[in-house]
């Protein structure tokens, strides 16, 4: 029989994803066949699985912690906000259309619960432990009737629930008590324990609070988890992006290289730049307007992916960012675009089917001789590529067996001969011979559809060393082993949470002995 544990929060961003990741690692280290699960995610950061399905990145990190390859059954429903209270709805890894919040929550969501239960059934057949993550709060009365990610899942599985509160933001005791007060009798019975997360300071000072909670609620407090910084684990959404910006502000002017990421309103897959930010000589700054970009005086400008490329492109132009980018590029600053950012570098973007916006055509930034047309079908595929020798800036970038993924609606065609920086050798399971991306004539601007290209240690270090050489700095050897560091991060996280929680009590809860 498959054991389950479900983590719910008193609100969003209390640390459910990280604690679920920790439990996945703890159970994996104990030799269990453990798998993560979240019925419905809402995030702009997504990932493409080996079979071409799209899923949320939180379950990708949890899968890695559990020693598994990510698969869409871990996250059968994904909502990707497109703006104006609308989202693209992705079911079993494939988009089924765009819907307003009202249309989805008042009609479609409950219809999709069959996909949730089907995914759970398949996981139960393969694994002995499922770590389940909820979303937001189970006590949001206005959403409860149509909820498919919190108590509907717990009731379906009769899964024991741990309720988590974030003490760092304040009001955690009231949040725990209040959330329990708003649950019905069956839901309340499923909550088997409480967890206080993100605690700073002397944990012994929390003894009166723990005693109060247990007496007031009749629920045991399984532990107090300390505030964990610099985890080195992929983030999922815009709130974690805000945390990155705060961290960048703390590190301001302490590193030799400054990389400016243009933060557009619909920025997506900003995890493309996490590996760069982890380098000891690279400071990654997220800039929202022309003034911030010019003040940053960056060594390179990075245009990220976007969930709504046409509207983000209009924002770049209307906000003055396009003019600031032009000023810096004309002064010699290199410019790199990934996915949606790559599309923006061309002459125009056409959306004849209005798959992303109401605009038929939007003028591009004009740096590369190409035009992009949005198709009705999204391309989602894992790829392998070589970089045979890109003459970028003052150096040459090379790499073999670079793995990544594509996730885009646009199909790009070139209006003049152009150099392509990457040679695709595999798409999914198929061997291919396709060139990707474009490089400007002067070698200072390039774009690519490849997400994850900077995750490769050697290529990333070459990229940074080219910037260093231009500044008269000596090149550095490879500084990071990203795979090894992520594995160590999962182990550190698991060790901290294992020490913080009453693991015997958790085992009793999962085995039904509590």
Same domain, 265 and 322: yes
Phi, psi (degrees; rounded to nearest 5) at 448: -155, 155
Residue 238 belongs to some domain of the structure: no
pLDDT tens readout for residues 430-466: 999 999 999 999 999 999 999 999 999 999 999 999 9
> Is the residue at 367 inside a domain?
yes
Residues 292 and 418 in one domain: yes
**CATH code assigned at 224:** 3.40.50.300
Based on the fold, state whether residues 136 and 222 are members of the same structural domain. yes
Which residues, other chains included, contact 19 with Cβ-Cβ below 8 Å and sequence gap of 6+? 7, 164, 195, 197, 225, 497
Residue 265: what pLDDT?
Answer: 92
- 249 or 19, which is more confident? 19
Does residue 349 fall inside a structural domain? yes
Task: Round to whole Å and give the CA distance between 492 and 486.
Answer: 10
Q: Kindly state whether residues 458 and 503 are assigned to the same domain.
A: no
Backbone φ and ψ for 507, nearest 5 degrees, come out as: -60, -40
In terms of pTM, does the model score above 0.85? yes
Question: In angstroms, rounded to a whole number, what is the distance separating the alpha carbons of residues 500 and 448?
Answer: 44
- Strands laid side by side in the 221-226 sheet: 34-37, 129-133, 3-9, 161-166, 191-199, 221-226
Q: Are residues 352 and 209 in the same domain?
A: no
Active site residues: 339, 451
In a domain, 317, yes or no: yes
Give yes or no for residue 238 having a pLDDT over 50: no
Residues 285, 174 share a domain? no
Q: What is the CATH number of the domain that holds 345?
A: 3.40.50.880
**Over the stretch 16-31, which tens digit does the pLDDT of each residue have?**
999 999 999 999 999 9
Q: What is the pLDDT of residues 318-337, one digit of tens each?
A: 999 999 999 999 999 999 99
Does residue 239 carry a pLDDT above 50?
no
Tokens of 128: 């002995």
User: Do 72 and 83 meet the contact criterion of CB atoms below 8 Å apart?
Assistant: no
Whole-number Cα distances in Å, 303 to 90, 172, 240, 272: 25, 38, 19, 11
**Could you tell me if 375 and 441 lie in one domain?**
yes
Beta-carbon neighbour count of residue 272 at 10 Å? 23
Domains in the chain, number? 2
Q: What three-state secondary structure class fits 224? A: strand
Domain ranges, residue 410 = 257-472
As a whole number of Å, the end-to-end CA separation of the chain is: 17
Q: What SS3 class is residue 168?
A: helix
pLDDT (tens digit per residue) in 131-145? 999 999 999 988 888
Residue 310 belongs to some domain of the structure:
yes
43 vs 412, residue with greater confidence: 412
Burial zone of 156 (CB within 10 Å; 0-12 exposed, 13-18 middle, 19+ buried): middle
Q: Distance of alpha carbon 485 from its chain centroid, rounded?
A: 18
Q: Output the pLDDT for position 354.
A: 86
In-domain check, residue 241: no
Is 419 domain-assigned?
yes
3-state secondary structure of 439: strand
389/500 same-domain check = no
Residue 112 belongs to some domain of the structure = yes
Residues 309 and 186 in one domain: no
Examine the domain organization and report whether 305 and 190 are in the same domain.
no
């Amino acid at each position: 029989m498959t054991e389950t544990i479900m983590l719910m929060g008193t609100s969003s961003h209390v640390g459910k994803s990280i604690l679920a990741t920790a439990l996945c690692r703890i159970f994996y280290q104990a030799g269990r066949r453990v798998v993560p699960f979240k019925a419905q995610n809402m995030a702009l950061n997504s990932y493409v699985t080996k079979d071409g399905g799209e899923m949320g990145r939180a379950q990708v990190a949890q899968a890695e912690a559990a020693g598994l390859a990510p698969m869409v059954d871990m996250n059968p429903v994904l909502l990707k906000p497109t703006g104006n209270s609308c989202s693209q709805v992705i079911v079993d890894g494939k988009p089924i259309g765009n819907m307003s919040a009202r249309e989805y929550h008042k009609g479609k969501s409950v219809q999709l619960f069959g996909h949730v239960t089907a995914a759970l059934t398949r996981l139960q057949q393969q694994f002995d432990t499922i770590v389940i993550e909820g979303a937001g709060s189970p006590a949001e009365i206005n959403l409860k009737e149509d909820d498919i990610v919190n108590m509907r899942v717990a009731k379906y599985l009769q899964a024991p629930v741990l309720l988590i509160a974030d003490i760092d933001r304040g009001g955690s005791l009231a949040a725990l008590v209040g959330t329990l007060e708003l649950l019905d009798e069956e839901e309340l019975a499923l909550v088997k324990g409480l967890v206080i997360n993100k605690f700073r300071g002397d944990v012994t000072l929390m003894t009166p609070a723990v005693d109060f909670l247990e007496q007031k609620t009749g629920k045991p407090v399984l532990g107090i988890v300390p505030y964990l910084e610099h985890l080195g684990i992929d983030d999922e959404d815009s709130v974690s992006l805000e945390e990155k910006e705060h961290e960048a502000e703390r590190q301001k002017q302490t590193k030799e290289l400054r990389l400016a990421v243009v933060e557009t309103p619909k920025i997506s897959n900003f995890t493309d730049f996490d590996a760069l930010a982890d380098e000891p000589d690279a400071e990654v700054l997220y800039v929202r307007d022309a003034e911030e970009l010019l003040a940053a005086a960056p060594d390179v400008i990075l245009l990220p992916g976007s969930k709504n490329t046409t509207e983000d492109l209009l924002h770049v132009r209307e906000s003055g960012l396009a003019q600031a980018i032009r000023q810096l590029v004309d002064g010699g600053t290199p410019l790199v675009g990934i996915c949606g950012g790559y599309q923006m570098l061309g002459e125009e973007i056409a959306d004849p089917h209005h798959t992303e916006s109401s605009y038929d055509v939007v003028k591009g930034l004009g740096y590369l001789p190409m035009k992009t047309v949005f198709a009705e079908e999204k391309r989602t595929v894992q790829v392998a590529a070589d970089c045979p020798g890109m003459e970028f800036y003052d150096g040459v970038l090379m790499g073999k067996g670079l793995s990544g993924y594509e996730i885009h609606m646009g199909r790009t065609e070139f209006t003049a001969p152009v150099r392509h920086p990457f040679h695709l050798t595999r798409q999914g399971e198929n061997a291919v011979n396709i060139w990707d991306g474009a490089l400007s004539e002067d070698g200072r601007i390039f774009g690519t559809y490849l997400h994850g290209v900077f995750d490769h240690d050697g290529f990333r270090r070459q990229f940074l060393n080219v910037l260093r050489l231009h500044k008269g700095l000596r090149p550095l050897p490879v500084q990071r082993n990203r795979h090894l560091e992520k594995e160590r991060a999962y182990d550190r996280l698991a060790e901290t949470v294992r020490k913080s929680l009453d693991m015997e009590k958790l085992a009793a809860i999962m085995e039904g002995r509590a």
